[in-house]
A and B are shown apart, each in its own frame.
Chain A
Amino acid sequence: MHILNIIFAGVGLFLFSFAVHILVWRIIRPGKQMLWLTIVFIFLPILGCLAFQVSGVGLSGIGTDWLSSFLILLLTILLSAAYIMSYPPIQAGCPSLKIILSVNDSGPEGMTEAAIHRVFSEDILVSERLEDLVNDGLIFVKNTPSDHDLVSLKNDTLFISRQGYLIARMFASYRKILDLPFGKG
């Protein structure tokens, strides 16, 4: 059952990364979270697989051939990518999901549109996402904020970094390929 073992190894490697992720997040509380996610969920499994491969210690029932390792990594990285794609709402508290939970909590009375709007504070929806972009090095502020609190910045200018520009272009090109206008955010 070679392929079944590959599936178990791929899922196992992902679960290991996930455990490391929880530990790192609770102990270190990393600032550049996207960088840390990449390290924990992409580089760590690759290094793990390489270590098994180079040392010649094959996992039971799998062996040490490169093709098997690649198939394990493919599954692990897809699981990791699925988690990483789900991570922004975990980190930022997705407004759509917050609306669903609030309406659910309102029970049979429901909520008016004004009440849903009141769930979110005026500034926080954009300012917190700006802070994330600054922390991840995708944009930078001309005058370095003294307290890292972008809510308090009134007239500062935000500049996009090279990395941020590449990501913006990637999404812009993708929408162009689909021939769709930019999303409303």
Chain B
Amino acid sequence: MRPEPSSCFLLTAILSLLIPFAVHLLLVRVFGLFRKTELRQKGVFFSVLAGILPLTVLCIVWAAAAATGDTVGLIVSLLYFFLIYLLAGYVYFHFFNMSETARRVRLLIESSQTGSLNKTDLKNLYPHQDIVSVRIERLTALGELRRSGDRYFLGNRVLLLPAKLIFTLRRLLFPYVDS
């Protein structure tokens, strides 16, 4: 029997989308882990990785229910589940990052609390010095930057390739803007 898409397949796919948030909520809220500012992004990353365990259980349950004899079909179905899980994890990671680091989100939240903002107050509320310093702190905590004396050097280089990719796409989409 080939593993044709069924409502059970659809349910498994939809449940797998909820795993990154559920695991993150459990770690942060119930176990009180990754609550410090410098650990929060690591916490989401760890949650997405740890979520592979419940995803595997979910896939096993689906495979048992589907009772398929087609091994290749089964592998392709599992590939679909893992693909959408990884995408959901990536989207969730960025969603959390937006709430943590995005200047636009912070400006919106500040505006929503007071109803309005005076442009001259923004400099006090959101000093240039802080915007850069907080990022240097975060990148150092993530191991992306390494401090030696009064100088910073590149650390683990995990974000170097995405950084190059992002700025290449920026040049492709906005050739008229100075990056």
Could you tell me which A residues sit within 8 Å of B by CB distance? Answer: 1-4, 6-7, 21-22, 25-26, 29, 67-68, 70-71, 74-75, 78-79, 81-82, 85-86, 88-91, 93-101, 103-104, 108-113, 116-117, 120, 122-123, 125-126, 129-130, 132-133, 138-139, 150, 153-160, 164-165, 167-169, 171-172, 174-175, 177-180, 182-185
- Provide the bound-state CA to CA distance between A174 and B109, in Å: 12
Minimum C-beta distance from B12 to chain A (A) = 11
With A71-B80, A125-B128 known, 16 other A-B pairs at CB within 8 A are A1-B72, A2-B2, A6-B5, A26-B173, A29-B176, A67-B7, A88-B98, A91-B174, A100-B145, A117-B133, A126-B131, A129-B103, A139-B108, A164-B112, A180-B35, A180-B40
B73 and A3 contact, CB distance less than 8 A: yes
Question: Nearest residue in A to B169 (C-beta to C-beta)?
Answer: A90
27 contacting pairs across A/B (C-beta < 8 A): A71-B5, A71-B9, A74-B84, A81-B91, A82-B94, A85-B94, A93-B170, A100-B139, A100-B163, A101-B164, A104-B163, A111-B151, A112-B151, A116-B136, A117-B132, A126-B128, A133-B104, A139-B111, A154-B119, A157-B118, A158-B117, A160-B116, A171-B109, A174-B95, A178-B24, A180-B35, A183-B100
Chain A residues with CB under 8 Å of B98's CB are 85, 88, 171
Q: How many B residues face the partner with a CB closer than 8 A?
A: 88
Interface centre among A68, A169, A185 (most CB of B within 10 A): A185
Known: A75-B84, A94-B166, A164-B108. A178 touches B25 (CB 8 A): yes
Contact across chains for A85 and B90 when beta carbons are under 8 A apart: yes
Mostly helix, strand, loop or mixed at chain A's interface?
helix
B79 within 8 A of A: yes
Cβ-defined partner of B101 (8 Å) among A22, A96, A126, A132:
A96
Closest to A151 in B: B119
B120 touches A93 (CB 8 A): no
Mostly, the B contact residues are helix
Select one of A90, A100, A169 contacting B159, CB under 8 A. A100
CA distance A169 to B108 in the complex (A): 9
Known: A86-B94, A99-B145, A168-B111. A67 touches B10 (CB 8 A): yes
Cα of A3 to Cα of B83 in the assembled complex, Å: 12
Q: Which residues of B contact A150 (CB under 8 A)?
A: 119
Q: Which residue of A lies closest to B135 (CB)?
A: A96
B150, chain A: closest CB distance, angstroms: 5
Q: Does B29 contact A (CB under 8 A)?
A: yes
